[in-house]
Amino acid sequence: MAVTIRTIAEAAGVSRGTVDRVINNRGGVKPELERKIRRLIAELGYRPNRAGKVLAALKKPITIGCLLPGVGNPFFDGIIRGFRQAERELSDFGVSLEISLIKGFDVREHVDALRALARKNVSAICAATVDVPEVREAVNGIIRSGIPVATVNSDLSGTGRLFYVGCNYPESGRTAAGILNLIRRDEMELLIVTGSVHMQGHNQRIQAFTQELADRSVRFHVAKVIETGDDEEIAYRCALKALRDFPGVNGVYVTSGGVSGVCRAVCEKNLAGKLTVLCFDDIPSTRRLIRDGVISATICQEPSQQGYRSVKMLFEDIVNAHPPEKRLYYTDTVIKIRQNL
């Protein structure tokens, strides 16, 4: 039988309660006794048993708060599915989620939603939010109040967040370049369509993409970079104009939303299939466009894994009461084409 808290207690000649106090740093143990117990823990190789912990913790249920700007954005459905999957698996351990969905990236709304979650006395928070000073401050405040916060899908720089689970944006950009390099051997005139020049992930995707094209000695130049704010209508109009202004464009690279708007413009100009379209993520409209041969490939980031792993790891953090091994968890960069969609 494994080494339990009882083994330690007997070896030290004390009660299990005392050992528990040492293990969980609850204080109130004579220093020399504490040292003795710690030594025994190390020597005997004691590892707390999760089943026991969980069973004991069942008395007070755990709620994990989740924040996503998912309203009207089907990309986040995958993350939500992952959340729910984790919730189901952890329901036996008394875990339930409080998912707060908001629309868009308004800073005030994000801050308010985060604070609202914190007030519902959740045990931890998992959020996909915007990396701006106001949000960072709010998050740091919440962390100081004792609620651990993890980021999912988009990170918060310079905060005390527990860990980040999400896309490796540079790698995803490089991969797009790699696919383009496989598909086309001619000189490329590229139209780049991005969500926001203020989103770090989008910029990294552009930067890594062009860098990799250069590294692979692809002859290319960028005709234009369009910013859409992830709005389909804007994407459509701007793409249409750009395709008119630059008739030589033979490749379109879409770093985030606006995919179907761009493709509408491509189809209207009768360029579907001629021009190579690459984009990110797997949402219903993108799937259709891949099936129809308008988009060659989409590069995905396993959103449901992101949701699943972040909640699972937050739970581990809550019951283990010790920080996770890593602070960055990247999901795989997944290439999807018609056949493996």
Partner DNA sequence: TTGAAAGCGCTACCAT
Partner DNA sequence: ATGGTAGCGCTTTCAA
Q: What span, in angstroms and rounded, lies between the C-alpha atoms of 146 and 123?
A: 9
The answer to the question of residue 291 lying near DNA (CB under 7 A) is: no
Q: In the numeric block, which tokens belong to residue 264?
A: 């509408």
Pick between residue 40 and residue 266 the one whose CB is nearest to DNA. 40
The answer to the question of residue 332 lying near a second copy (CB under 8 A) is: yes
Distances (CA, A) of 25 to 2, 3, 21, 48: 23, 20, 6, 14
In sequence order, the 6+-apart residues with CB closer than 8 A to the CB of 285 are 74, 259, 260
Give the three-class secondary structure for 81: helix
Q: What span, in angstroms and rounded, lies between the C-alpha atoms of 33 and 19?
A: 10
The answer to the question of residue 178 lying near a second copy (CB under 8 A) is: yes
Q: 294 to 313, contacts with a second copy by CB under 8 A?
A: 296-297
Q: What span, in angstroms and rounded, lies between the C-alpha atoms of 275 and 85?
A: 39
Pick between residue 121 and residue 339 the one whose CB is nearest to a second copy. 339
Q: Which does 175 bind (CB under 5 to 8 A by kind): DNA, a second copy, none?
A: a second copy
Q: Which does 280 bind (CB under 5 to 8 A by kind): a second copy, DNA, none?
A: none
Evaluate whether 125 touches 66 at the Cβ level (below 8 Å). Answer: yes
Q: In the numeric block, which tokens belong to residue 210?
A: 């062009």
The answer to the question of residue 29 lying near DNA (CB under 7 A) is: yes
The answer to the question of residue 17 lying near DNA (CB under 7 A) is: yes
Q: Which of 177, 271, 275, 283 binds a second copy (CB under 8 A)?
A: 177
> How many Å separate Cα 17 from the centre of its chain?
40
Binding-residue total with DNA (CB under 7 A):
32
What's the closest the beta carbon of residue 6 comes to a second copy, in angstroms? 13
What's the closest the beta carbon of residue 140 comes to a second copy, in angstroms? 32
Q: Segment contacting DNA (CB under 7 A): 20-28, 152-160, 241-249, 299-307?
A: 20-28
Q: Segment contacting a second copy (CB under 8 A): 101-109, 226-234, 248-256, 328-336?
A: 328-336
Among candidates 285, 296, 284, which has minimal Cα distance to 335? 296
Evaluate whether 129 touches 114 at the Cβ level (below 8 Å). Answer: yes
Pick between residue 245 and residue 316 the one whose CB is nearest to a second copy. 316
> How many Å separate Cα 294 from the centre of its chain?
28
The answer to the question of residue 321 lying near a second copy (CB under 8 A) is: no
Q: Which does 183 bind (CB under 5 to 8 A by kind): DNA, a second copy, none?
A: a second copy
Show the DSSP H helices in 184-302 as ranges.
Answer: 200-215, 232-245, 259-268, 284-291
Q: In the numeric block, which tokens belong to residue 50?
A: 């999760």
The answer to the question of residue 156 lying near DNA (CB under 7 A) is: no
Give the three-class secondary structure for 333: coil
Pick between residue 97 and residue 235 the one whose CB is nearest to a second copy. 97
Name the DSSP class of 238: H
Phi, psi (rounded to 5 degrees) for 187: -75, 135
Q: 52 to 81, contacts with DNA by CB under 7 A?
A: 52-53, 55-59
Q: What span, in angstroms and rounded, lies between the C-alpha atoms of 219 and 188?
A: 6
Q: Which does 197 bind (CB under 5 to 8 A by kind): a second copy, DNA, none?
A: none
What's the closest the beta carbon of residue 270 comes to a second copy, in angstroms? 19
The site for DNA (CB under 7 A) is made up of 1-2, 4-6, 13-18, 20-21, 23-24, 27-30, 33-34, 47-49, 51-53, 55-59
The site for a second copy (CB under 8 A) is made up of 2, 47, 49-52, 54-55, 58, 92-94, 171-172, 174-175, 177-179, 182-183, 212, 296-297, 332-340
